[in-house]
């Protein structure tokens, strides 16, 4: 292991900034190497040592400092998980690394297919873990893996715990004993779905009586359903149980959770989802959720109905994105139908001053959706007049430090850009796959930079995480990816909003996304533009308030696109407005000029030059 493990806590808990979940408490890493580098010579002997083997199948580690640091953080997450599990008495759990290039022969032998994935070998099974490479989420998954596929309920306390599980699919069976051939078939079926679906069983007749279960009978519980469905045709063979689950594994009501976001969103019905937002901790949200459960219970036989419930409290940093995308207010419950591909949506009208809709009203609205009377493809129930004419004029950033300040004095300026681009097709911006500009409130730096780059999956797939190290299917349509930079191109990831101008951990992390960067010449990035960022820093330190806007002019030559799809930056530009002694001071910059330097210009001069650089954009106003 390398000693460079600065700010581990930031990385291990980073995605929780998006998901809003509390992580586990961890000890500090003790420095002992526990993760094995697997190769053709040692992989068999290493795997024989452990009951469970966790293998990270990763892409080759690059030579540059940034990719090495990123891999070190990923390796450290595994080392910390291995350290925590080292003391387990019942199971020996090993961790290994397989390089997709150097050790591809090992990958072939083990059946590893998807790079940057974790595979868990347990009891002759291979389980693919597709969650975040974070110590806490991986540990929680592994704890489920090492549990028996069937959990036995033997007393009232355990039965109460069973009833408290309402958000997951679960099965309960009553059998004579562990040796019963019917339990063995049930256990075999459980192994097929372990650890993704929860199987329970009891051998106690008193428990079975409370559950109204007959001997060798299995009940299937949908999420949020009070009454189970008894699987017909007992006694069952393994295939009977598996076939029933396959026909009923799409619940009528299911909760969106971080570990299941992709799977649920991809499991659409005719390209649409019915989505309900409700805060369970809020009285109105709780009331609405109970109504929603009632409607789901009445429609549980309808295979074409599946409602996704989202608790906004679980995703605090996603709320602004959802509110803007769907044009709804999530301070109160909402239900709507959403088009999977383009996020067009129609939402049920609910007056905040009125009572929650009744179950009958909600059921009627859902029926209209099901028969096509309400369809986001045929129009939205929100007037276009209520929407800003040009959303590009608004500065949008999930991080509070980048958001526009509340209005104070009439003479105060804010970071803002107005672009009159009637002749510029909006699609041009999308095909750049780099940001147009970034606007932020300047902060005197007091945090250390962390070299890891994230993407924003939600830009391509609605309901995806706001920030993640990688994405799944359809990711990359509207943004650059780390892979684009790792194909031998001699470009840096050039910040628009630089780490040098951040003063909180959250704002620093927010700058580490590829949506805040563009391909930039290394010499210009590391020497010339960096010197300008430092000069701006010194200019703005005395300011009582300062706003900065930084943008990119792309090189539109298709032959110069990185990886054939990402525009390279031709010019970087920046402008600031500094309030000092109640006077606003403004300056502009752009580069490289013909000599590779940065030009220091007035704001009007910068606006005029940018209009010329962008070509079809007639007017640019940076600080109105």
pLDDT band at 396 (very low <50, low <70, confident <90, very high): very low
Q: Which of 148, 175, 152 shows the shortest CA–CA distance to 162? A: 152
Q: How far apart are the first and last CA of the chain?
A: 53
pLDDT confidence band for 2 (50 / 70 / 90): very low
**What CATH code is carried by the domain that includes residue 429?**
3.40.570.10
Quote the tokens at residue 412.
């105060």
**What pLDDT score was predicted for residue 202?**
97
575 vs 259: CA distance, rounded Å = 41
**Domain residue limits at 220:** 150-247
Give the 3-state secondary structure of residue 572: strand
Q: Which range, of 67-76, 418-427, 456-465, 549-558, averages the lowest pLDDT?
A: 418-427
Considering the domain architecture, whether residues 559 and 515 belong to the same structural domain is answered as: yes
**150: enclosing H helix or E strand:** strand 150-152
Nearest-angstrom CA–CA distance, 588 and 585: 11
Q: Count the Cβ atoms, other than its own, within 10 Å of residue 376.
A: 22
Instruction: For residue 183, give the nearest of 203, 169, 197, 163 by alpha carbon.
Output: 203
Residues written for the chain:
624
Residues 103 and 155 in one domain: no
The token duo for 195 is 């650890």
Please give the distance of CA 57 from its chain centroid, rounded to a whole number: 21
> Are 154 and 135 in the same domain?
no
- Say whether pLDDT at 389 is over 80: no
What gap in Å lies between CA 119 and CA 41, rounded to an integer?
20
Of 146, 172, 204, the residue at which a domain comes to its end is 146
Same domain, 515 and 420: yes
CB atoms under 10 Å from CB of 310, counted, come to 22
Q: Does some domain include residue 3?
A: no
- Please tell me the distance from the alpha carbon of residue 403 to that of residue 401, in angstroms, as a whole number: 6
Shortest CA distance to 281 belongs to which of 320, 349, 333?
333
Global pTM?
A: 0.56
pLDDT tier, 405 (very low <50, low <70, confident <90, very high otherwise): very low
Q: For position 100, what pLDDT does the model report?
A: 92
Instruction: Say whether the peptide bond before residue 592 is cis (omega within 30 degrees of 0).
Output: yes
pLDDT digits (tens, 9 = 90+) for 320-353: 888 888 999 999 999 999 988 778 899 999 876 6
Same-domain check for residues 182 and 140: no
Claim to verify: residue 360 and residue 398 sit in the same structural domain: no
Q: How far apart, in Å, are the Cα atoms of 103 and each of 58, 96, 97, 345, 492?
A: 10, 12, 9, 47, 28
User: pLDDT at residue 384 above 50?
Assistant: no
> Binning pLDDT at 50, 70 and 90, where does residue 559 land?
confident
Question: Whose CA is closest to 443, among 339, 544, 521?
Answer: 544
Q: How far apart are alpha carbons 333 and 278 in whole angstroms? A: 5
Three-state SS for 564?
coil
CB atoms closer than 10 angstroms to residue 436: 16
What percent of the chain is predicted at pLDDT more than 70? 82
1 falls within a domain: no
User: Which residue has 């079926």 as its token pair?
Assistant: 189
The C-alpha angle 584, 590, 593, rounded to 5 degrees, equals: 145
What is the pairing mode between strands 198-202 and 150-152?
parallel
Most confident range (mean pLDDT) of 47-51, 69-73, 499-503 is 47-51
What's the pLDDT band for 386 if we cut at 50, 70, 90? very low
pLDDT, tens digit (0-9, with 9 covering 90-100), for 195-231: 889 999 999 999 999 999 999 999 999 999 888 999 9
Rounded Cα gap, residues 204 and 202, in angstroms = 5
pLDDT at 447 over 90: no
Predicted confidence (pLDDT) per residue in 270-313, tens digit: 888 999 999 998 999 999 999 999 999 889 888 889 999 999 98
pLDDT at 12: 30
Instruction: Please tell me whether residues 224 and 302 are part of one structural domain.
Output: no
Choosing from 232, 247, 262, the residue where a domain stops is 247
d(CA 552, CA 433): 12
- Reduce the DSSP state of residue 193 to 3 states and report it: helix
* Residue 114 counted as domain residue: yes
pLDDT confidence tier of residue 475, bands split at 50, 70 and 90: confident
H-helix or E-strand containing 310? strand 307-310
Helix, strand counts (H, E) of the chain: 20, 24
Q: Which range has the top average pLDDT, 361-365, 417-421, 554-558?
A: 361-365
Pair 424, 568 in one domain: yes
Q: What is the CATH number of the domain that holds 31?
A: 3.40.30.10
Q: Supply the pLDDT for residue 469.
A: 66
In the numeric block, the tokens 């355990």 are attached to 158
Band (pLDDT 50/70/90 cuts) for residue 448 is low
Confidence of residue 259 (pLDDT cuts 50, 70, 90): low
The total number of structural domains in the chain stands at: 4
User: Above 50 in pLDDT, residue 153?
Assistant: yes
DSSP 8-class letter at 386:
G
State how far the Cα of 87 lies from the Cα of 390, in Å rounded to an integer. 58
Closest CA to 293 of 333, 254, 350: 254
358 domain-assigned: yes
- What tokens does 499 get? 């780490």
Q: Before 423, cis peptide (omega within 30)?
A: no
Q: What are phi and psi of 19, to 5 degrees?
A: -85, -20
Q: What percent of the chain has pLDDT over 90?
A: 42
The mean of the pLDDT values for the chain is 82
- Measured CA to CA, the distance from residue 541 to residue 550 in angstroms comes to 18
Mean pLDDT within 476-483: 84
DSSP-derived letter for residue 377 is: G
Axis crossing angle, helix 283-298 with helix 359-370, rounded to the nearest 10 = 60
| 440 backbone dihedrals φ, ψ, rounded to 5° | -155, 160
Phi, psi dihedral angles at 102 (to 5 degrees): -70, -35
Same domain, 319 and 275: yes
Neighbour tally for 19: CB within 10 Å = 24
* Model pLDDT, residue 491: 87
2 found inside a domain: no
Same domain, 88 and 134: yes
- Pair 235, 316 in one domain: no
More confident residue, 614 or 606: 606
For the segment 64-110, what is each residue's pLDDT rounded down to a tens digit? 777 787 888 889 989 999 999 987 777 899 999 999 999 999 999 99
Residue 6 has pLDDT above 60, yes or no: no
Neighbour tally for 147: CB within 10 Å:
13
Let me know: does 439 contact 501? Beta carbons within 8 Å: no
Q: How many CB atoms lie within 10 A of CB 120?
A: 20
Both 481 and 586 in one domain: the answer is: yes
Last residue of a domain, one of 231, 247, 263: 247
Which two structure tokens, joined as six digits, stand for 406? 């509340």
pLDDT at 142 over 50: yes
């Amino acid at each position: 292991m390398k000693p460079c493990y600065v700010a581990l806590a930031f990385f291990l808990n980073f995605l929780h900034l998006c998901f809003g979940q509390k992580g586990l408490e961890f000890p500090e890493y003790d420095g002992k190497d526990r993760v094995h580098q697997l190769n053709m010579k040692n992989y068999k002997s290493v795997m024989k040592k452990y009951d469970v083997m966790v293998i990270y199948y990763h892409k080759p580690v690059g030579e540059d400092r940034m990719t090495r640091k990123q891999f070190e953080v990923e390796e450290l997450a595994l080392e910390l998980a291995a350290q925590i599990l080292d003391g387990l008495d019942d199971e020996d759990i090993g961790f290994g690394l397989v390089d997709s290039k150097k050790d591809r022969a090992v990958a072939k032998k083990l059946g590893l297919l998807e790079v940057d994935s974790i595979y868990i070998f347990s009891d002759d099974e291979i389980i693919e873990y597709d969650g975040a490479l974070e110590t806490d989420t991986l540990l929680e998954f592994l704890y489920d893996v090492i549990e028996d596929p069937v959990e036995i309920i033997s007393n009232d306390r355990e039965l109460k715990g069973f009833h408290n599980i309402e958000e997951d699919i679960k099965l309960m069976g009553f059998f004579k004993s562990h040796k019963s051939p019917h339990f063995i078939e049930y256990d075999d079926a459980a192994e097929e779905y372990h650890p993704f679906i929860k199987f329970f069983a009891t051998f106690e007749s008193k428990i079975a009586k409370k559950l109204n279960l007959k001997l060798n009978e299995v009940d299937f519980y949908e999420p949020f359903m009070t009454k189970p469905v008894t699987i017909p045709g007992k006694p069952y063979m393994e295939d009977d149980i598996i076939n029933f689950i396959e026909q009923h594994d799409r619940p009528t009501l299911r909760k969106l959770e971080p570990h299941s976001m992709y799977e649920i969103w991809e499991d659409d019905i005719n390209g649409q989802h019915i989505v309900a937002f409700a805060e369970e901790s809020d009285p109105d949200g709780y009331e609405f959720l109970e109504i929603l459960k009632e409607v789901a219970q009445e429609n549980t036989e309808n295979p074409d109905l599946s409602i996704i419930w989202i608790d906004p409290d679980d995703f605090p940093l996603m709320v602004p994105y959802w509110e803007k995308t769907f044009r709804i207010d999530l301070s109160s419950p909402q239900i709507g139908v959403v088009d999977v591909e383009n996020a067009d949506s129609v939402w049920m009208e609910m007056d905040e001053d009125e009572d929650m809709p009744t179950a009958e009203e909600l059921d009627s609205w859902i029926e209209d959706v099901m028969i096509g009377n309400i369809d986001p493809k045929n129009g939205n129930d929100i007037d276009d007049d209520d929407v800003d004419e040009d959303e590009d004029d608004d500065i949008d950033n999930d991080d509070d430090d980048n958001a526009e300040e509340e209005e104070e004095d009439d003479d105060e300026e804010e970071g803002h850009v107005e672009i009159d681009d009637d002749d510029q097709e909006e699609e041009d911006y999308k095909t750049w796959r780099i940001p147009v500009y970034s606007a932020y409130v300047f902060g005197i730096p007091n945090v250390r930079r962390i070299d890891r780059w994230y993407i924003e999956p939600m830009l391509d797939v609605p309901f995806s995480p706001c920030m993640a190290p990688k994405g799944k299917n359809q990711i990359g349509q509207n943004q650059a990816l780390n892979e684009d930079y790792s194909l031998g191109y001699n470009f840096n990831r050039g910040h628009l909003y630089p780490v040098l101008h951040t003063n909180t951990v959250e704002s620093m992390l927010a700058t580490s996304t590829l949506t805040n960067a563009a391909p930039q010449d290394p010499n210009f990035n590391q020497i010339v533009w960096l010197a300008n960022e430092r000069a701006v820093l010194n200019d703005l330190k005395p300011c009582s308030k300062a706003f900065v806007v930084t943008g990119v002019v792309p090189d539109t030559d298709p032959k110069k696109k990185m990886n054939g799809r990402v525009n390279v930056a031709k010019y970087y530009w920046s402008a600031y407005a500094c309030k000092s002694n109640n006077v606003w001071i403004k300056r502009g910059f752009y580069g490289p000029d013909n000599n590779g330097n940065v030009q220091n210009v007035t704001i009007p001069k910068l606006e005029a030059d940018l209009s010329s650089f962008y070509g079809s954009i007639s007017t640019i106003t940076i600080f109105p």
